[in-house]
Amino acid sequence: MRKFLIGAAFFCGLVSTPAYANLNVFACEPEWGALSTEIGGDKVSVYTATTGAQDPHQIQARPSLIAKARTADITVCEGAELEIGWLPMIISQANNAKIQPGQPGSFEGTRYVHLLEQPTALDRAQGDIHAAGNPHIQTDPRMMLTVSKALAQRFAQLDPANASYYQAREADFEKRFGAAIAKWTAEAAPLKGTPIAVQHHAWIYMENWLGLREIVPLEPKPGVPPSSGYLAEVLQKLQQRKSRRSSCRAAVHRRRHRGRQRPLRPLRRHHPSLARRPEEMSLGNIEIGILIPAFLAGLLVLATHVPLGQQVLNRGIVFIDLAIAQVAGLGVTAADALGFEPQGWRVQAAAVIAALAGALVLTWTEKKWPEVQEALIGVLFVVAACVELLILANNPHGGEHLKDLLVGQILWVSPASLIPVAILYAVLLGLWFTMRARLGQIGFYVLFALVVTQSVQLVGVYLVFASLIVPALAARRFPESMRLAVGYATGIAGYILGLIASALYDLPTGAVIVVALLIVFIAAVLLARAAVPREIQAAATR
């Protein structure tokens, strides 16, 4: 009887064991995730990196992106440099040989079709153009049929045991999707020759498929926001043509509801219903190899910002960090506008020179008008931000650049990039702790500018400001002998809590760390009230 029960339990265990996918697919966009599922069926496990509500050119770093890329057997993406703003960094951080460029595990749909709008010359003045041609092939469903054959062959190459399964599913998909395309083409036939306006040059393939006629784009150049004057010209052209208009990356289409035909309306890609739903808590995203470089970057930032933050708080110049960071960012933006390489030494030099210039200006204003120094710091921040906006006015990736500067991409940090920063911070910390009394105003501002310039490029303006001020505020009610230790403890706890929460809930890491620092700050204030005598708290805050 005992042997029977053991055998039955073993059999049930075999029966209930879940089937594991043969291929782990990392799809860059929803359309490629859907196609991978159609071709792969239950033989593939598909993770989609973006949603229809996101701009696939640039996305925020999340722990799941790197975690999924580490276990992926293949990446299925658009290609033609559409994902160049984030995919290369994920592949680098994932350290997965299978999905490196040129390997069978790297698949780009645009390699299997003829791309339109291939530029004859590359010039930044032309706006956001792609060197290989227009990558938005998914707007013509006929392109998907061509790519589906290539994807089935690639799945078969990676998983030969199920080659016939992939080919059979691709044939079935081709039959069903081909019939759907024929139906859509017939329904859209009345639209042939219709003049339309588009917001972005992303619909050329759909225009060719349906015979639509684009008469004017809402962007003066691809990716460049329009001015009021240009929009007035667009409106005039539309009124002259009396055209049907599409907006927000929209395609004109007929819709039917309960058998009745409704008016034409825009089909918006950026619709709230397409947004990613909150992820459930996932322990699988907590990988030490992913979080350690980000944590080390946080430790480096805290090493310098905790003591400097306490000095800033004592001086009453809280917003100096934001001002210097914005001035340094202005230097980076100016260097980029001049065509310098993003990671080159000239960009770094421009950031340092700009930050030092801002520091010297603030040194002069503190001597000249000390009673309004905080107000002048705010003015410097606003002016630097506005000049940066003017420089980026004709940059198709200006919004992405500003977002990266403010929020940062701490998960993109590599251990190798931290070595020169660690050396610089060690030198600056040595100067601070050994020569602080002799630095004077100029020395303080110069040292502060050098620190902030590097920190902003590591973790972004918001996280730099939080790392500078929140630990200093948390330690404010503790005795002076304990403030440095409390500040470091607050910062370290905030980074640990933020990194773990970001991994668990798959949220942008920098923003989560800022919130975590606030939570730890509240806990430190409550601890101070409970453990530190009131007379000591009162003396500490004077």
Q: What pLDDT is attached to residue 400?
A: 62
pLDDT tens digits, one per residue of 475-503: 988 888 889 999 999 999 999 999 999 88
Q: What pLDDT is attached to residue 485?
A: 93
Given a cut of 90, whether residue 443 has pLDDT beyond it is: no
What values do phi and psi take at 187, rounded to 5?
Answer: -65, -30
Residue-averaged pLDDT of the chain: 81
Q: What pLDDT is attached to residue 243?
A: 43
One fold for 18-187 and 285-540? no
Exposure letters 227-242 (e unless 16+ CB within 10 A, then b): eeebeeebeeebeeee
Of 204, 136, 219, give the one whose Cα is nearest residue 398. 219
**Cα 483 from Cα 471, distance rounded (Å):** 9
Return the percentage of the chain with pLDDT > 90, whole number.
36
Given a cut of 70, whether residue 473 has pLDDT beyond it is: yes
Q: Which long-range CB contacts under 8 A does 222-227 form with residues at least 24 apart?
A: 222/126, 222/127, 222/128, 222/129, 222/396, 223/127, 223/128, 223/396, 223/397, 224/127, 224/128, 224/394, 224/395, 224/396, 225/393, 225/398
CB atoms near residue 250 (< 10 Å): 19
pTM (global) more than 0.75: no
CB atoms near residue 407 (< 10 Å): 20
Average pLDDT over residues 46-66: 84
Q: What pLDDT is attached to residue 124?
A: 58
Average pLDDT over residues 79-98: 89
Average pLDDT over residues 172-200: 90
DSSP annotation of 58: -
Average pLDDT over residues 264-269: 38
The answer to whether the CB of 268 falls within 8 A of the CB of 50 is no
Average pLDDT over residues 24-52: 94
Q: Of 237-246, 275-284, 306-315, which range is least confident?
A: 275-284
Of 239, 253, 257, give the one whose Cα is nearest residue 194. 253
Q: Domain 190-274: state its class.
A: alpha beta
**Does residue 529 or residue 521 have the better pLDDT?**
521
Q: Which residues contact 135 (CB under 8 A, 6 or more apart)?
A: 78, 79, 80, 81, 82, 110, 115
Q: What pLDDT is attached to residue 538?
A: 54
Please report which helix (H) or strand (E) contains residue 279, including its range: none
Structure tokens at 411: 């998960």
Q: What pLDDT is attached to residue 263?
A: 37
Given a cut of 90, whether residue 514 has pLDDT beyond it is: yes
Residue 234 has, within 13 A of its CA and on its CB side, a CA count of 21
Average pLDDT over residues 272-300: 68
Which residues lie across from 475 on neighbouring strands? none
Average pLDDT over residues 249-267: 37
The answer to whether the CB of 257 falls within 8 A of the CB of 38 is no
CB atoms near residue 139 (< 10 Å): 20
Average pLDDT over residues 337-346: 71
Structure tokens at 207: 């225009």
Q: Which one is the CATH code of 18-187: 2.120.10.80, 3.40.50.2300, 3.90.15.10, 3.40.50.1980?
A: 3.40.50.1980
- Going from the C-alpha of 24 to that of each of 71, 104, 158, 163, 393, the distances in angstroms are 7, 13, 11, 16, 41
Q: Which residues contact 364 (CB under 8 A, 6 or more apart)?
A: none
What values do phi and psi take at 325, rounded to 5?
Answer: -60, -40
Which range scores top for mean pLDDT: 159-168, 217-226, 274-283, 362-371?
159-168
Q: What pLDDT is attached to residue 532?
A: 63
CB atoms near residue 540 (< 10 Å): 17
Average pLDDT over residues 273-284: 48
The residue whose two tokens read 């107000």 is 375
What values do phi and psi take at 17, rounded to 5?
Answer: -65, 125
For the chain, the domains span 18-187, 190-274, 285-540
Q: What pLDDT is attached to residue 249?
A: 38
**Cα 294 from Cα 420, distance rounded (Å):** 16
At the fourth CATH level, the homologous superfamily of domain 285-540 is ABC transporter involved in vitamin B12 uptake, BtuC (1.10.3470.10)
Which residues lie across from 260 on neighbouring strands? 257
pLDDT tens digits, one per residue of 349-392: 888 888 888 888 888 988 888 888 888 888 998 898 888 888 87
Q: What pLDDT is attached to residue 271?
A: 44
Q: Of 99-113, 296-310, 495-509, which range is least confident?
A: 495-509
